[in-house]
Amino acid sequence: MKFIVAALAVLLLAGCDFEVYRYPCQDPDNWNKAECQKPLCEVSRTCPEHIFKNDSVIKSIPQPVTITPNKGGCK
């Protein structure tokens, strides 16, 4: 009876589709959060650059863009 319950539990849990990340910054949804931005993640070495190192995933991290106003004004 215990074997049946254990086998049923394994089958039910194996059907669950959820991703668990060891570090919050491994989750691409968190890459724009403060905890995954430098300098906060630099201390714990959990920045996406540190976690993935030379992985191709890192190339998809959106880089911040600096917009400077036009000195000549709007045309």
Mean pLDDT to the nearest integer, 2-28: 76
pLDDT attached to residue 64: 65
**How many domains are there within the chain?**
1
Angle at CA 57, nearest 5°, toward 54 and 62? Answer: 110
Mean pLDDT to the nearest integer, 49-74: 66
pTM: 0.45
pLDDT attached to residue 47: 87
pLDDT attached to residue 61: 56
pLDDT tens-digit map of 17-59 = 567 788 888 888 988 999 888 888 888 888 888 887 766 555 5
The letter for the amino acid at 19 is E
Residues spanned by the domain of 48: 19-60
In a domain, 37, yes or no: yes
Q: Please tell me what DSSP assigns to residue 62.
A: P
In a domain, 3, yes or no: no
Count Cα atoms within 13 angstroms, Cβ side, for 1.
0
In a domain, 12, yes or no: no
